[in-house]
Amino acid sequence: MPSGVRVFVDFDGTISLEDTTDVILERFADPEWRTVEAEWLAGRIGSRECLARQIDLVRASREDLRTVIDEVPLDPHFADLVELCRGHGVPLTVISDGLDWVVTKMLARAGLDVPVRANKLEWLGRNRWRLGFPYSATACRAQAGHCKCQALGGEPEKIRILIGDGRSDFCAAETADLVVAKSALAEHCQTAGLAYIVFGNFAGATTLIADWIGGLRRLDQMPRSSKGMVHASPA
């Protein structure tokens, strides 16, 4: 059974302790980016349009962006989850509505080799950048840059665990079988009536998921006839 589990982890605010896109915009974008942000917060535009317009307002060299990569800390216990998943043969994918170049560089800096799906940051030369959206979907409810509901929707037969913190995870939370949430995502699950487990950092999240995988493995080892008993009389 654990081989039928897949783990999807958000990056900004979840693995990275700050939202790296916000840090880049605050430091390097024309202040107009806040007007675009307000349109997105009000629900008038999706994150795809929001991010495309905001990245167009950035004036930063590659060296400038590297300072962000060097300065923003990652949750040091994310490595524990990567190791747990590897040990159990559970695929773990980082799914981000942020900037692929930033996400992959920050994970590499921490010595973490995990697959990443994120928006494609393209350098146009000098201090100009453009954002591409290889994982967007026209049917996306949230008009997101990276359609995370589609990312989770690919293998409906698997048990999909989503770990996240914010608005970019809202639609995927409805598809996930288990949501491990903090901050705005926890509030959203509460309001929307979705089952979720709260986590503070990856030390806690890794313990939760280890217990969960252990429970699945025990269930899987039971004779088929006794499985119903487990549901009928939870300990």
Question: Would you tell me which residues interact with Mg ion (CB under 5 A)?
Answer: 10, 12-13, 165-166
Interaction partner, residue 140 (Zn ion, Mg ion, none; CB < 5-8 Å by kind): Zn ion
Among residues 170 and 199, whose Cβ is nearest to Zn ion?
170
Among residues 69 and 185, whose Cβ is nearest to Zn ion?
185
- The nearest distance, CB 171 to Zn ion, in angstroms, is 5
Q: Which stretch binds Zn ion (CB under 5 A): 97-105, 142-150, 203-211, 227-235?
A: 142-150
Q: Cα(223)–Cα(78) distance, rounded to whole angstroms? A: 35
Facing residues of 8 across strands?
93, 162
Residue-wise DSSP of 87-124: HHT--EEEEEEEEHHHHHHHHHHTT----EEEEEEEEE
- The nearest distance, CB 15 to Mg ion, in angstroms, is 9
- The nearest distance, CB 178 to Zn ion, in angstroms, is 19
Interaction partner, residue 149 (Zn ion, Mg ion, none; CB < 5-8 Å by kind): Zn ion
The number of beta carbons lying within 10 Å of the beta carbon of residue 16 is 24
Q: Cα(102)–Cα(115) distance, rounded to whole angstroms? A: 14
Residue 121 phi/psi, 5-degree rounding, is -85, 125
Dihedral over alpha carbons 77, 112, 47, 39 (to 10 degrees): 50
On whether the CB atoms of residues 122 and 132 are closer than 8 A, the answer is yes
Specify the pairing of strand 197-198 against strand 159-164: unpaired
Among residues 179 and 213, whose Cβ is nearest to Mg ion?
179
- The nearest distance, CB 16 to Mg ion, in angstroms, is 8
Among residues 69 and 144, whose Cβ is nearest to Zn ion?
144
Q: Which of 95, 140, 152, 186 binds Zn ion (CB under 5 A)?
A: 140
Interaction partner, residue 147 (Mg ion, Zn ion, none; CB < 5-8 Å by kind): Zn ion
Residues in contact with Zn ion by the rule CB under 5 A: 140, 144, 147, 149, 171
